Amino acid sequence: MSRQAFSGFTRGISLIMFAGLLWGCDFRTEPARQSPSSASEPAQSPADSSEPEVTIDTGDRSIEITEKVEAWPSELPAEVPRFASGAIRKIIRTETPEANSWDMVIDRLPARALKDYEAALKTAGFETSSMIVSEKEGDRGSVTGQKGPVTVVMIASGGNASLSVILTQ
């Protein structure tokens, strides 16, 4: 992979992870000021919607954000070890010509979640690198696994995590 392609890929993954972390932290912007004519109408925010999914399709790219509780996305590559700890709260699926990715926001992690998942990745044949700090509240840091066209990145802190699976085309 050329330096330019790797740089673009890394930037894309960083943006996806950043969006996932913001989404996972329930980042909200202030509502726009209403004009006097619309003051009598109740304001409706995305949180008021009964739809648990949002899909953005730009032709060659598609992003789906869902708050449906799933145990584990069934369409993930089979070689990715299932992360059974905690509770998946949100899933962001992205399809581009270069890669497909799944970004999950996970709550209620047990104390050793990062170390345990790194061991599961190694058992599944992934080359891993990690930076884990053990604290009284639990592990925090990151684990990255690479196996062929599949990259797995988990970032955790304070009992919450972002888990990304990227399948390059």
Instruction: Answer yes or no: is 33 within a domain.
Output: no
For the chain, the C-alpha Rg in angstroms (whole number) is 18
| Domain housing 106 | 3-26+56-168
pLDDT-based confidence at residue 35 (cuts at 50, 70, 90) = very low
The tokens of 9 are what?
A: 């890929």
Total structural domains in the chain?
1
Residue 47 domain flag = no
Read off the pLDDT of residues 120-167 as tens digits, 9 standing for 90 and up.
Answer: 999 999 999 999 998 887 889 999 999 999 999 999 998 999 999 999
Looking at the domain assignment, is residue 34 inside a domain? no
> Is 38 among the domain residues?
no
Cα–Cα distance for residue pair 40/38, rounded to 1 Å: 5
Answer whether residue 41 is part of any domain.
no
What average pLDDT score do residues 1-19 get? 56
* CATH number reported for the structural domain that contains residue 108 in this entry: 3.40.1000
149 within domain boundaries: yes
Overall pTM surpassing 0.85 (yes/no): no
- List pLDDT tens digits, range 55-101: 787 777 777 776 666 678 889 999 999 998 889 988 889 999 999 99
The Cα diameter of the chain in Å comes to: 62
